[in-house]
Homo-oligomer: A and B are copies of this chain.
């Protein structure tokens, strides 16, 4: 299918179309585009191409199709599954979307914003804020990831409990198809039932069905106050009981519900001794096994949010679910509590490589999943330390496994990564969960995911890919096994 085109003819045509400055071929220029965020993959490329806007990108895709050049789209290059890294052949081009970085429209009364794919997430948040609106998608890489990449991977983050994933925050898309046609589906409608849902097909497809060039996103009235609390508990089952109570008493005001095991917090305290865990200060015979961070977003007032949190936690204590609790008494203290949660992955990084799992199970299955899986990991890797934390409200755990005390992390990884991950994924599957909750498949989890999918589902996915991209030029080797 891929008849090799004269490389020089193709590159000359690219330079004519994009301008010389936007066709990168020197190793020094292309280097940063060829390694993924976690440094798991290093690729080679024919060129890094940087179109200026959607029509130019459409023309570029037609050019690549004419020359049968495979295309790897890339936004902020912050993906965690190698979805934006080309293969080692040197025959693929990287198409950077970063120059498509205009906020095209903010329609405050419609609660929508239209941004181009290359806009950095933090810039989208800022544009919403400037119009006195909230764009709630929020994740660690928000200062450098792009909204196009967020949508291509259906990013999750910390606000999914209330606002949903990137998918649920998108009303319309503009997409360049694998044929190089520009589809304008930038609808700002809350209800529209006029045919097949193309939008959701492109979202989460990681560029394998077409290239997202712009999106119309949902905005919200910003809350008057965000208020955070910590609750200490004995077990994941108690955390689930508290979640139930919080959903009953706070309803949609509950915007965060994060679970952190005792070991996670001790790790933070060890690496960042300047952090204070407020509940440590209280006298207790032994540390609490689990801590939950709760966040309310309130459209009334800070006082209302705090009073509701206090009532909620008092009910938790009364019902024997919560052992101890603290409600932030200022925005600064709220932020400090969040900072504690956000320091867990940083503390992990500081202590060396570990075996990471981005998994989700039904919320009701979280306690059973942890109870069943911890012993499996210990059987394989005795003494391994479990760093279990995450978005309990979404059933999404970062179920990570650290080397035992005193064991070299790199050696531990080399020895156990494959077997531990296989056991964890099998257990996830047995608990009706997913092995990729919010990071996508890319090349990293492509084969593992296929292993757990039914032949029917794989056949439907292949039928879609063949229908949209019959030449197989769109981000080949990602999502679906070849």
Does A453 have its Cβ within 8 Å of any Cβ on chain B? yes
User: For the complex, is A204 an interface residue (Cβ under 8 Å from B)?
Assistant: yes
Closest partner residue, chain B, to A466 (CB atom): B467
A363 & B168 in contact (Cβ 8 Å cutoff): no
A434 contacts B189, C-beta separation under 8 Å: yes
Residue of B nearest to A248 (CB): B221
A193 at the interface (CB under 8 A from B): yes
Residues A460 and B198 in contact, CB atoms below 8 Å apart = yes
> In this assembly, does A125 line the interface, its C-beta being within 8 Å of a C-beta of chain B?
no
Whether B154 lies near A193 (C-beta < 8 A) is yes
The stretch from A138-146, A402-410, A435-443 touching chain B is A435-443
B residues within 8 A CB of A96? none
Question: A194 and B454: CB pair below 8 A?
Answer: no
CA distance A152 to B223 in the complex (A): 35
Bound Cα distance A220, B355 (Å): 35
B111 pairs with A247, CB closer than 8 A? yes
Question: Using an 8 Å CB-CB cutoff, how does the interface string of A190-205 with B read, 1 for contact, 0 for none?
Answer: 1111111110110111
The complex places the Cα of A441 from the Cα of B193 at a distance, in Å, of 7
Given contacts A197-B200, A251-B297, contact A192 B362 (CB under 8 A): no
Interface string of A448-470 (1 = CB under 8 A from B): 01001110110111011111100
Is A167's beta carbon under 8 Å from chain B? Answer: yes
CB contacts under 8 Å to B, within A101-130, are: 107-112
Q: Tell me the residues in window 164-201 of chain A with beta carbons closer than 8 Å to chain B beta carbons.
A: 164-165, 167-168, 177, 181-185, 187-198, 200-201
Q: Which of A32-54 contact B (CB under 8 A)?
A: none
* A162 to chain B: closest residue by CB: B252
Q: A156 touching B360 by the CB < 8 A rule?
A: no
Chain B residues positioned under 8 Å from A209 (CB to CB): 196
Q: Is the CB of B195 within 8 A of A479?
A: yes
Contact A454 B200 (CB under 8 A): no
When the two chains form their complex, are residues A456 and B187 in contact, meaning their CB atoms are under 8 A apart? Answer: no
Cα–Cα distance between A438 and B361 once the two chains are bound (Å) = 32
Q: Chain A binding site: helix, strand, loop or mixed by DSSP?
A: mixed
Contact A195 B252 (CB under 8 A): no
Chain B residues with CB below 8 A from A468, complex form: 460, 463
Contact of A363 among B110, B252, B432 (CB under 8 A): B110
Q: Which of A185, A190, A300 has the most CB of B within 10 A?
A: A190
A249 in the interface, Cβ–Cβ < 8 Å?
yes
Q: Is A253 an interface residue (CB 8 A)?
A: yes
The minimal Cβ–Cβ distance linking A101 to chain B, given in whole angstroms, is: 23
A244 within 8 A of B: yes
Of the listed residues A221, A365, A459, the one surrounded by the most CB atoms of chain B closer than 10 A to its CB is A221
CB atoms of B193 and A204 under 8 A apart: yes
A479 to B195, CA, bound (A): 6
Complex: how many Å from CA A191 to CA B185? Answer: 25
Bound form: Cα–Cα A129–B178 in Å: 47
Determine whether the beta carbon of A198 is less than 8 Å from that of B457: yes
Tell me whether A395 and B200 are in contact (CB under 8 A).
no
- Tell me, rounded to whole Å, the shortest Cβ–Cβ distance linking A463 to chain B: 5
Given A107-B364, A197-B200, verify A177-B460 contact (CB < 8 Å): yes
Say yes or no for A302: interface residue by CB 8 A criterion.
no
Q: For the complex of A and B, list the 7 residue pairs with the smallest distance between their C-beta atoms, beginning with the closest.
A: A251-B299, A467-B467, A109-B364, A252-B252, A200-B200, A110-B364, A190-B394
Known: A191-B395, A195-B479. 18 other contacts (CB 8 A): A111-B363, A161-B190, A191-B360, A192-B360, A193-B437, A193-B441, A194-B445, A194-B449, A195-B449, A196-B460, A197-B204, A198-B461, A220-B251, A221-B251, A248-B299, A251-B253, A251-B299, A464-B467
Task: List chain A positions with a Cβ less than 8 A from chain B.
Answer: 107-112, 153-154, 156, 160-162, 164-165, 167-168, 177, 181-185, 187-198, 200-201, 203-205, 209, 220-221, 223, 240, 244, 247-253, 297-300, 308, 360-365, 391, 393-396, 432-441, 445, 449, 452-454, 456-457, 459-461, 463-468, 479-480
15 pairs, CB–CB < 8 Å, chain A vs chain B: A108-B364, A109-B364, A160-B191, A161-B190, A165-B191, A189-B434, A190-B363, A191-B437, A192-B434, A193-B438, A195-B441, A195-B457, A196-B209, A196-B460, A460-B468
